[in-house]
Structure 1
Amino acid sequence: MIRGPKAARGWRSWYPFTTGEFIREYLLRHGEAYIYEVWDAFRRTLREMDLKWWGDYNSFRKYFNYLQKLNLIRFVREEPSEYPWLEPRRYFTIVHENADVIEAWTRPQVILYPETVYGKRRYDKKRDEAEALGITVRELALIEHPEILEVRRRLGIK
């Protein structure tokens, strides 16, 4: 797995790879896949390493939503599921033009919502600071973290 740059501050997974890095590598290796397939492979990989993932399937689906909003993955096709009461399988593939934007794969939520870079504890302080400057917390985050703005520009996000 390719390691992305570590954040200068803030939380970092204690797994040997981030969820986004795993999804990226899986899609590069397999071409296309549906969410449950990737989630199951992710859980199996962690289990083989004697690690436990504390999320659930819905949070993994949300992660796919972030990646899709960032144009890192795209919907390819839909296939009926084996059972009629289940939703159809939706297959995704990697957007190859953005496959090398490692920063977006390692921290998609921060790239999509820059204000989350502060975390819960520092957010209130930064909100007060932004109000004093007459800007939003998102704008303050983009000023203080130009690397986020650069990644957003590379992905074509305003």
Structure 2
Amino acid sequence: MAEGAPRLRGWSLPWIYPTGLFIRDYLLKHKTAYPQEIWKALKAARKSVSEELGESTSRYENFWRNYIYVLKKLGLIEPVRRVANPKQPMWFPRTYYRIVPGRENDPRWVHPQIALDPRRGKSEYRRRYAKAKKVKIPLPPPLTPEEIDRIWAAAEAFLRERRYILTREQFEAVKPEWPSEAGLYPTFEERVGYVIRYASAIYYVSRMARRLISVEEAPEPIASEALRLGKTLEREWLRRR
């Protein structure tokens, strides 16, 4: 991007071709496809513009939640089959989707998020959201090594009681930024709850995958199930305090 040029975002970007329509047209052309296949095609289609502007296509998990999940919720796409990954036969099978017959020209393809939640299209809602983003909250001081050790010890003891065995080394290999994120919570109990939530989720998806992975690497619905489990254990911990 040229020095001094305004940084374009959202609909100001040259890829005004909406993602929802890209998904629709890709499925019209290929009949069926699995989400990661569509996401990779989207990245490839926007690669030149991304490099020029220094922007990037959203991560796969965001793409899945913002489009595949929403389009399925709207009844525009539907799963048709599950196929084992030929490169990773022990991994989760791929779910192939197609356009629901008769929905090819549905106007909701253009703005699926607004179709699902009309508030997102209202100027008042957008202004309130933008105003909230501008509010600056002072960051707490970083955790000390002693505090980090204490938080992990409490979380590990709680998880071991429930037979969720994940070492600190494994947790930090997947989520190295956890001390800074946990430090954003105001109390010790909430910081421990944060670790419990993510450590249990990582344990869950790693056990399913038979290798150490992050929640973001796990496909849906496994990732959502892992996060629900983590939140349940976090609430249980907080109720005990």
Structure with greater proportional strand content: 1
Q: Could you tell me the TM-score, scaled by structure 2's length? A: 0.43
Tell me, in whole angstroms, the C-alpha distance in 2 between the residues paired with 1:13 and 1:107.
16
Percent identical among aligned pairs is: 35
SS of 2:49's partner is coil
CA displacement at 1:42 relative to structure 2: 0.6
Q: CA RMSD in A?
A: 2.2
Larger RCO of the pair (alpha carbons < 8 Å, separation 6+): 1
Gaps of 5+ in 1: 1-10, 125-158
Gaps of 5+ in 2: 1-9, 131-241
The CA deviation string for residues 36-77 of structure 1, in whole angstroms up to 9 with x for no partner, is 111111101111x43343410001111101001111111000
Tell me, in whole angstroms, the C-alpha distance in 2 between the residues paired with 1:54 and 1:39.
9
Matching residue of 2:77: 73
Work out the number of aligned pairs and report it: 113
> Which letter maps to 1:75?
P
* Alignment counterpart, residue 118 of structure 2, candidates 89, 110, 114: 114
Greater gyration radius: 2
Matching residue of 1:38: 38
* Alignment counterpart, residue 98 of structure 2, candidates 54, 69, 93: 93
Q: Could you tell me the TM-score, scaled by structure 1's length? A: 0.64
CA displacement at 1:88 relative to structure 2: 1.1
Tell me, in whole angstroms, the C-alpha distance in 1 between the residues paired with 2:38 and 2:17.
15
CA displacement at 1:13 relative to structure 2: 5.7
Matching residue of 1:12: 11
Contact 2:46 2:57 in 1 (8 A): no
Tell me, in whole angstroms, the C-alpha distance in 1 between the residues paired with 2:89 and 2:128.
47
Runs of 4+ with deviation above 3 angstroms = none
The CA deviation string for residues 71-99 of structure 1, in whole angstroms up to 9 with x for no partner, is 11110000112314532100000113111
Matching residue of 1:151: none
Aligned pair 1:59/2:62, yes or no? Answer: yes
